Structure formats: C-alpha cells, structure tokens
Amino acid sequence: DAKRSGRGRSVVYASSLGAASRRMNTVEQALREGLEKRQFELHFQPKVDSQSLQALGVEALMRWEHPVLGSVSPGEFIPAAERCGLIHELGALALQQACLAARELPGLNVAVNVSPLQLMEPGFIDSVERVLVRAGVGPSLLHLEVTESLMLEDAQAALRRLHALRELGVQVALDDFGTGFSSLAYLRAFPFHTLKIDRSFVRSLTEHADARAIVNTIVRMAGVLGMRTVAEGIETERELAVIRAIRCDEVQGYLVARPMPLPKFKDWLAGRPLTGPVDDMDSRVLP
C-alpha cells in the first residue's frame, strides 16, 4: 500500500515536472525566434526625487510579447535566456535600445539591468563603450543595475569588472539590496554609486517598526559610504511618506508611474504635472 501511494506521488511529481520542463523548452525555443522577429521592447519606469518628485532617471525593463504565448514576464524569460545562452544577445539589445532612448530623454539617466553572465563575458566592457560612443551618450548617463548574485562565483573577478565600468564613467547600482547574502562585506569592497532597496522592505515599512529601522540604517550607511539610495516598489502614499521621513534619495514604483513604452513615457514626462494621481501628489508637495 505504501509502495503504491509512493509510486502514485512520484507519477504526479514526474508529470508536473514534465509540464514545467516542457514550458521551459517552449520558452527557450520561442526566445530564439523572438529575437529574430524583434518581439522584444524596452519599457521605461521613472525614478524621481523623493522630496520634489522631479524625474531624475528611468529604469529600462525588457518586455516580450509573443504572438501565441502572450506577454511573458522577465522573471521567466531572463532566466531562460541565461540557461540557453541568449542572454548576451538580449542584453546587447537592451543596452542599444536604452542608449538610443537616452538620446531622446535629455537630462535623465537611463538604468539597464545586467545579468552576471553578461557582465562577466570577456568583451562586455568594450561593448558598453562601443554602444555609448555609437549613440553619442555620455557614460555618466548610463547606469547598470547588478544584483548581489554577481559576487557568488568569483567575487574578485566581479569587482575588477565593476571597477573597469567605474573607470569608463558608467554608474553602477546594486539592485534588490537586502535580499542577497553578506551584503556589507561587498559594500565595503566596492563603492557602488547607488543602492536600490528591495521592495520587500518597502512593503513592510508602514506596518513594522523593525523594517523602518532597517531601511533607516541602510540609508544612513549608504550616506556615510557616499552612495545614493533608491526605494523600489513604492505603491502607496503612506509608503512614500515613510520613505521621505527616512530621507531616502529617490523613489520608484507604481504610485509614481508603471513601466511604459518610450512614446508613452515621453508623454508622461511632458504632461507632468497636468492630470492623474502623480499630479495630486505634486500639488500636495510642491509650492
């Protein structure tokens, strides 16, 4: 009896595993074709000064609209692209599109997420320089967002890469800060320009005093180390109020705006502060 139910479980397990791996195969196959057929497009989400709400920069986020699969989230296709080696092509596309967008967004910096695999590729630094020169964009306008997972494999090699980027004049942000491991050691070893505080902290800010204490400490520590701070995933006015009180430099989140295609983002910029929820915030905080 135990044997039979044991077997039953393993059958269920095997078939759901089968479904998951079939989906993975489907996505990986579709990626290749999607790149050829230009199904990928960057969307842009503003990062604003937490006090004045003035836009300071944008984060470029990749979107994939597949004719049959529909819209596939980066949380699914980025790991798939990393598994099948297409992350380099996809990453190069993101850099190119982001630098072209930077030309159309004077005064704003443009942040691009970079996979550890892409950053550690031998030609990466040269390719960043080439893209910047070709687009005629100053290196300081390009921000690259990396996560702590970068340090997992070979921390020394990763630090050398980050220093090379710094020498090129590109800014580097540590993304999803607080979700990784032993962050403090790396913060001392490499002075990132910016710390992006993960939205899991932001979510608990308004409810829990300990979360407020942690974020407050992160912001003070970043200040001492000369780094800017960005709070990710601000969705409510209460979260914004707490973040302002803590004096985190910048905010990003649905409360300000969702990621949108470049033309829409330009309209959004031009239209501020005329209509919509952001303008209610503007009229409240601006003289």
Measure the CA–CA gap between 229 and 195, rounded to whole angstroms. 5
Give yes or no for residue 239 binding Mg ion (CB under 5 A): no
- Cβ neighbours, 10 Å, residue 188: 8
Contact region with ligand C2E (CB under 6 A), list: 1-9, 102-110, 180-188, 229-237: 229-237
**Count of CB atoms situated within 10 Å of the CB of 21:** 10
Residue bearing tokens 């020169």 = 133
Cα dihedral 201, 203, 206, 211, rounded to 10, equals -20
Asked if residues 165 and 199 have their Cβ atoms less than 8 Å apart, the reply is: no
Structure tokens at 249: 């430099």
CB atoms within 10 A of CB 70: 8
Q: Please tell me whether residue 145 binds Mg ion under the rule CB under 5 A.
A: yes
Q: By CB under 6 A, is residue 94 in contact with ligand C2E?
A: yes
* Contact status: 148 vs Mg ion (CB under 5 A): no
Q: Does 62 bind ligand C2E (CB under 6 A)?
A: yes
| 266 CB-side CA count, 13 A | 8
Length of the chain: 287
Radius of gyration, alpha carbons of the chain: 21
Both tokens of 246, joined, read 């803590």
Residues 131-190 that bind ligand C2E (CB under 6 A): 145, 175-176
- Give the residue with the Cβ less far from Mg ion, 175 or 250: 175
CB of 175 within 8 A of CB of 161?
Answer: no
Smaller CB separation from Mg ion, 89 or 176: 176
Residue 152 to residues 12, 149, 161, 183, 267, Cα–Cα distance (Å): 34, 5, 14, 11, 41
Among 253, 260, 268, 272, binds ligand C2E (CB under 6 A): 253
| Given 45, 50, 97, 113, the residue binding Mg ion (CB under 5 A) | 113
State the minimum distance, in angstroms, from the CB of residue 282 to ligand C2E. Answer: 18
* Choice between 9 and 269, CB closer to ligand C2E: 269
The residue among 175 and 249 lying less far from Mg ion, judged by its C-beta, is 175
Least Cβ distance, residue 59 to Mg ion (angstroms): 6
Kindly indicate which of the ranges 20-28, 67-75, 109-117, 125-133 contains the residues binding Mg ion, using the contact rule CB under 5 A: 109-117
Q: How far is the CB of 256 from ligand C2E (least distance, A)?
A: 8
Our CB check for ligand C2E shows the closer of 78 and 269 to be 78
The residues that touch Mg ion, with contacts defined as CB under 5 A, are 113, 145, 175-176, 232
The residues that touch ligand C2E, with contacts defined as CB under 6 A, are 45, 61-62, 73-75, 78, 91, 94, 113-115, 145, 175-176, 199, 233-235, 252-254, 259
